[in-house]
Amino acid sequence: MEWRGFPPLSALRAFAAFAQAPTLDQAGALIGVTHAAISQQIRALETQMGVALVDRGGRRLALTDEGRRLAEALEAGFGQIATVVAELTGSDGSRPLRITTTPSFASGWLLPRLPEFRAQHPGIDLVIDPAPEQRDIGREADVGLRYGNGDWPGLEARLVLRSSVVVVASPGLVPADGPQDAAHLAKLPWLQEPGTNEVTGFLQQYGLTREKRSGMISLPGNMMLDAARDGQGVAVVARAFVLADLAAGRLRLLHEDKEHEGYFLVTRPGVLRPPLKAFAQWVLRQADAGPGQAI
């Protein structure tokens, strides 16, 4: 980084405070200076950068497009700094632990085991975000339980559960004595988690596309499995989450893809704050105690 041409951190801090607060007075209160000092710092920053960051033409001050871009970058950068400082000093010990994972993993693996963690660590507050979209680990979440091959640049990943991906349906929708080839399945209704493309990927392996008349329902993982058991569609899911359904005959195994990898515990590298360390150790112990890592 070229530090000589870098704007003063005090000016960037003042601008970030103004972007966060609606007025100069409130921005000054955030960092303990007067509104005049905030105004002076912002003008100095604009002069150094040669860019207008604040629109002063209206009744109220507003950010320009360039100002909004800088404000977003500062929010992310200062936010990450604040997180690391809190972790290193231990001042974030009471902050809830934010866990991101898919709805399927949350309902099929994490929640059934969670009472044990709560019993061992009753003082740790948890926020579980069951979303198919990947969150920014370190900024939007403290830890992730992600499906993939373990290769996420800039992050540390440790295997929790290796599971093949299977295509399943209820016996009522796909009877044992009926056809279950991919061409037949392409004509049936399908179920899929939002933000995923497992159905398309499965059919493309066989050179097929889903017929429009078959219909698609996108819904969270636990609801997707309920719908599959009810015969509302064919689903693609990790085998680990339907073992009991397959054994009880509620779902039929139609196809299996063993090329996929598994679920990983994903964190930022470095020292983990105590609540995160406790959760990570517990998850990995659960993985070691489970019925084998390959399912």
* pLDDT single digits (tens) 277-290: 999 999 999 887 65
Residue 136 carries which DSSP code?
-
10 or 218, which is more confident?
10
Token pair in block for residue 117: 């963690």
Q: Residue 106's closest CA among 137, 74, 130, 77?
A: 130
pLDDT of residue 48: 92
Average pLDDT of the segment spanning 98-105: 88
The answer, yes or no, to whether residue 201 has pLDDT greater than 90, is: no
The answer, yes or no, to whether residue 73 has pLDDT greater than 80, is: yes
- Per-chain mean pLDDT for the chain: 85
Average pLDDT of the segment spanning 146-169: 87
Q: For tokens 């997707």, what's the residue?
A: 224
Q: What gap in Å lies between CA 13 and CA 19, rounded to an integer?
A: 10
Burial letters for 45-71: b for 16+ Cβ neighbours within 10 Å, e otherwise? Answer: bbeeeeeebbeeeeeebebeeebeebb
pLDDT of residue 215: 76
The band of 93, judged by pLDDT with boundaries at 50, 70 and 90, is low
Cβ–Cβ under 8 Å, residues 130 and 89: no
pLDDT of residue 88: 67
Return the H-helix or E-strand segment holding 155.
none
* Contact partners, residue 7, CB within 8 Å, separation at least 6: 45, 48, 49
The band of 267, judged by pLDDT with boundaries at 50, 70 and 90, is very high
pLDDT of residue 292: 40
Q: What gap in Å lies between CA 285 and CA 18, rounded to an integer?
A: 46
pLDDT of residue 32: 92
State what percent of residues in the chain have pLDDT above 70.
93
The answer, yes or no, to whether residue 6 has pLDDT greater than 50, is: yes
Q: Residue 129's closest CA among 99, 104, 96?
A: 99
* pLDDT single digits (tens) 35-71: 899 999 999 999 999 999 999 887 888 899 999 999 9
The answer, yes or no, to whether residue 211 has pLDDT greater than 90, is: no
Neighbouring CB atoms inside 10 A of 232's CB total 20
234 or 201, which is more confident?
234
pLDDT of residue 293: 40
The answer, yes or no, to whether residue 294 has pLDDT greater than 50, is: no
Average pLDDT of the segment spanning 245-251: 94
The band of 172, judged by pLDDT with boundaries at 50, 70 and 90, is very high
